[in-house]
Amino acid sequence: MKSLRHHGLSVEAAMKWYANHFSIPQNEQLLWSLTGLLHDFDYEQYPDCKAPDGHPFVGVKILDDRGYPAEVGRAILGHATYSGTPRDTLMAKTLFAVDELSGLITAAALVRPDKSILNLEVSPVLKRFKDKGFARGCNRDDIVLGAEELGIELRSHCENVLKALQIYAKENEAQ
């Protein structure tokens, strides 16, 4: 599904931005990016969230079986509050914080006449955030909790993720 791939790439971009922001060592930044990219890879095939044979449990098992670092699987489990997995690393907290918000920002861009994220500003995103009828699938409580867990004010967090998605869009526009 094209939208799921786009979401994974968006979360990857936000994870990469935050890894740089938090001065994560270069060799670990790749792990952050990879975690963002892969966090929902099993969703389309195993959409039965909350079930032990659904998302993200199946995906994490696949990653474990293929030798991915345990911290990747733990962060992916932590992005699903129903998994019961605590978000006890900065990478896990960041994945949770950027997941829903990247979806909301993308939706806010798609309702613009030009459908471009490049000239989107944070104020319209926050206005859409307050509109519970807009992008109903985005869990606003998770967005707020994610910012709190990172210790970043919501507006600043929105600015950061928007910046990350704009950088990603510019890089891909040039290709």
Q: Report pLDDT for 39.
A: 96
Q: Is the pLDDT of residue 18 over 90?
A: yes
Q: Report pLDDT for 50.
A: 75
Q: Report pLDDT for 47.
A: 81
- Inter-CA distances, 70 with 34, 60, 62, 143, 155, Å: 13, 9, 12, 25, 32
- Which position has the higher pLDDT, 29 or 175? 29
- Using an 8 Å Cβ cutoff, are 58 and 46 in contact? yes
Q: Is the pLDDT of residue 141 over 70?
A: yes
Q: Report pLDDT for 174.
A: 64
% the chain with pLDDT above 90: 88
Per-residue b/e over 133-145, b at no fewer than 16 CB within 10 Å? eebeebbbebbbb
Backbone angles phi, psi at 28, to 5 degrees: -85, -20
Q: Report pLDDT for 72.
A: 98
Helix axes 26-38, 2-21, angle to 10 degrees: 150
Q: What is the mean pLDDT of residues 16-40?
A: 97
For the stretch 67-123, pLDDT in tens is 999 999 999 999 999 999 999 999 999 999 999 999 999 999 999 999 999 999 999
Q: Could you tell me the residue range of the domain that residue 136 belongs to?
A: 2-173
Domain count, the chain: 1
- Using an 8 Å Cβ cutoff, are 126 and 73 in contact? no
Which residues does 97 contact at the CB level (< 8 Å), separation at least 6?
143, 146, 147, 149, 150, 152, 157
Q: Report pLDDT for 52.
A: 80
For the stretch 46-61, pLDDT in tens is 887 778 888 999 999 9
Q: Report pLDDT for 54.
A: 87
